Amino acid sequence: MDARLKRIHYEVALAAVRYSRTHSADFDDESGSWVIIKDFPLPAGYNYETTDILVLLPPNYPQTPPDWFYVDDNLRLADGRKPSHVFYGQTTHDPNARRVNREMDAPPQMKGWTGCCLHIRSWQPAPNPVEGHSLLSVCELIRGALERWRKPPVSVIVDDDPFE
């Protein structure tokens, strides 16, 4: 196992302990192109208590962060609405598409997953994943996003027009 795969393996183990209710995760131990954190706890307000999270890692991870993650295609808010920033049916963004032979080395079956965007504006990995950005940082961003997305959109209602 090369240094990149060892690092991913270590990060997956840390993320499973911190972000999986069952302390369970899986990853592509051949090319390091994907990670699944199983039973990721969801905040109140969703139709599930947990969901599996799929993260496709770019070929030069950890230098470059992932920018999408995937959840169960049936994930909804408790009232049946679709959360914002979840792109149902979107599974085409794959940072490994240029180097992956879809028949031999593809990420897990994409059927049943739906894409969610991550906007990582600052990324500074360190040799020790605990001291810099890593899969732990990505999981924390996902946790925060799922928390924000469950809230209804804010709308402004003006009862009185001050210019009348």
Question: How much is the pLDDT for 66?
Answer: 92
Over residues 115-129, the mean pLDDT reads: 89
Percent of the chain, pLDDT > 70? 77
Name the residue with higher pLDDT: 109 or 69. 69
Question: How much is the pLDDT for 112?
Answer: 78
Name the residue with higher pLDDT: 97 or 31. 31
Question: How much is the pLDDT for 119?
Answer: 79
Domain boundaries, the chain: 3-149
Question: How much is the pLDDT for 126?
Answer: 93
- Residue 101 scores a pLDDT above 80: no
pTM of the predicted model as reported, rounded to 2 decimal places = 0.81
102 HSE (CA, 13 A, CB side): 7
Percent of the chain, pLDDT > 90? 60
List pLDDT tens digits, range 15-29: 999 999 999 999 999
Model confidence at 30, in pLDDT bands (50, 70, 90)?
very high
Top CATH class of 3-149 equals: alpha beta
CA proximity to 63, closest of 156, 9, 160, 133: 133
List pLDDT tens digits, range 40-67: 999 999 999 999 999 999 999 999 999 8
Q: What is the mean pLDDT of the chain?
A: 83
- Residue 120 scores a pLDDT above 90: no
What single-letter amino acid sits at 111? Answer: K
Over residues 8-18, the mean pLDDT reads: 97
What single-letter amino acid sits at 74? Answer: N
Q: Which pair of tokens denotes residue 104? A: 């031999």
* Strands ordered across the beta sheet of 113-117: 25-27, 34-41, 50-56, 68-72, 113-117, 86-87
- Residue 77 scores a pLDDT above 80: yes
